[in-house]
Amino acid sequence: MAAVPMSSAKRLRQLLSDPSRMVVAPGVYDGISARLALAQGFECLYMTGAGTNMSRLGMADLGIATFNDMVTNAGMIASINPSVPLIADADTGYGGPIMVARTVQGYARAGVAGLHIEDQVQEKRCGHLAGKQLVEREVFYARIRAAKKAREEIGSEMLIIARTDARAGAGFEEAVERLRGAREAGADALFLEAMQSEEEVRKAVKIFEGTPMLLNMVGGGKTPQMSVKEAKEAGFRIMIWPTLLVEAVISPLKNALRILREEGTHDSCEPIGPRALFEVCGLNELMAFDESVGGKAFGGQEFVLTLARIDPTLRVTTKPILDKARTVEVRRGDLYTAEERERYGGLPNAGAEVASIRLEKKGRYKVLVERDGTE
C-alpha cells in the first residue's frame, strides 16, 4: 500500500519543530510568482494579501478583497505543489466568529498550511499604512478561539497565527498584551506587525520565548530591515517577505510598456520565446503526464528542436543524414502548423531560435547541420 503523503500543514509544523531552522517564505500573489519561488527551492510560500488585492483586483490593500477572492487565490497557489506549505493572509477572518470559522475551514480545504488573523476592524488596511483601527481585545480573542475550534472540527493541523496591529496606534505594550491573550485563546504562532526598532524586535521574541514568532519584512515599511540571518539570530521562527516580488516587477513592467508605447519595440527585454515561458509554468510536466496516460494532444510525433542556444550560426535542414551530421536532443512541442513546415521545406533557420520537425519516434534524431554554407 502506498504511503499517505504528508499534509502541507503537518510539514509546516515539522519545519517549526526544529529549533535550528527558520521558515523563510517569499510573498507570492499568482501562479507565475509561485512557480518561480518553487523553482528556487523555497520550502514555504506566503500568499500576500497586498499582492492579491493588487494582482487580482487592481486595488490597493485597503481590505477590498473578500473571502472568496482570497481563498480562491490561495487554493490555486497551494495546488501547484501541495507538498510545499503555504501560509496565507486571512485578514480579519472576514466577519464575526461564524465567518472566521468558515474562513479557516475554507482555507484548510484549499490546502493552506497556515493563516494569520488580525485585530483590525473590517475596514482594514495594510499594516504599514497609517490610520489603522482596532477591535476590542475580546473581539480579537473570539476570532482566535473560533479559528481554533473550526480547525479542530475538521481535523486539520493548519497553523493559526495571531496578528496584532496595535503597535502603530496603541503602542508596543498593548500589542504585547493582545498577543498574550491570543496565545491563551489558542494561537500557535504570533505576529506583532510593524515593530519600529531593533530593540522592540528583540524584546518581542524574548517576551514570547517558546512560541514561534513571525517577522514581516516589508521594504520601506515601519520595521527595521533585517536579513534572514539576522532574523534567525534574533530568534524568529518564520519570516515573510510580502511585497518583495510585487516590487520586483513594477519597474521592469513600467519600462517595457514605456518603450513599447514610445518606440514601438520590445527592446527593453530579451525574449525567451513561448516555450521557455510555458516551461516556467510546468509545460514539460504537463505534456509528460498527458503522454503517460496515452494522450495524443501534446505528445506523439511532434517535437521541438532547440538550436539557437547551441550556436546561432547553424542552419538545420531535413536533408538525408550524412556522416558529418551531429546528434541533437529534441523535445516535445508544436510551434508550427503542417502548412508552415511545408512552406519552410523542413526546418526554419536556427536564428528563429526553435524549429519543429515531425519524427517517427521519440528520443534523439540525426539532422544535417551546416555552418557558413559548408556541410
- State the number of CA atoms in the 13 A half-sphere of 346 facing the CB: 11
Assess whether 128 carries a catalytic annotation.
no
Choosing from 46, 107, 141, 336, the catalytic residue is: 46
Among the options 119, 165, 188, 193, which is catalytic? 193
Instruction: Tell me if residue 372 is catalytic.
Output: no
118 is catalytic: yes
Check if 188 is active-site. Answer: no
Q: What are the respective helix, strand and coil percentages of the chain, to the nearest 5?
A: 40, 20, 40
Q: Residues 13, 116, 128, 145: which is the catalytic one? A: 116
- C-alpha span between 188 and 162 (Å, rounded): 8
* Grid cell listed for 322: 550524412
**Known catalytic residue: 126?**
yes
**Could you identify the residue written with the cell 477590498?**
64
Q: Give yes or no: 116 in active site.
A: yes
Q: Which of 29, 118, 125, 167 is catalytic?
A: 118
Q: Which one from 11, 200, 216, 336 is the annotated catalytic residue?
A: 216
- Residue 190's DSSP bridge partners are 162, 213
Distance CA 103, CA 93 (A): 6
> Catalytic residue among 61, 165, 188, 200, which?
61
What DSSP string describes 71-111? HHHHHHHHHH-TTS-EEEE-TT-SSSHHHHHHHHHHHHHTT
Q: How far is CA 8 from CA 26, 102, 113, 320, 336, in A?
A: 16, 20, 5, 54, 41
Active-site residue, from 91, 200, 302, 334: 91
- Nearest CA to 27 out of 9, 13, 47, 43 is that of 47
**311 counts as catalytic:** no
State the alpha helices, DSSP H only, in the chain: 8-16, 31-39, 49-52, 67-80, 97-109, 137-153, 166-170, 172-185, 198-207, 228-234, 244-263, 273-280, 283-292, 338-344
Give catalytic status of residue 193 as yes or no.
Answer: yes
Q: Is 61 a catalytic residue?
A: yes
Among 11, 163, 183, 332, the active-site one is 163
The yes-or-no answer on residue 46 being catalytic is yes
Task: Show the cell assigned to 111.
Answer: 490546502
Catalytic residue among 89, 165, 188, 302: 89
CA distance 242 to 194: 13
The single residue of 35, 107, 119, 126 carrying the catalytic annotation is 126
Give 81's contacts (C-beta < 8 A, 6+ positions apart).
Answer: 38
Which triple of cell numbers denotes residue 74? 490561495
- Catalytic (active-site) positions: 46, 61, 89, 91, 116, 118, 126, 163, 193, 216
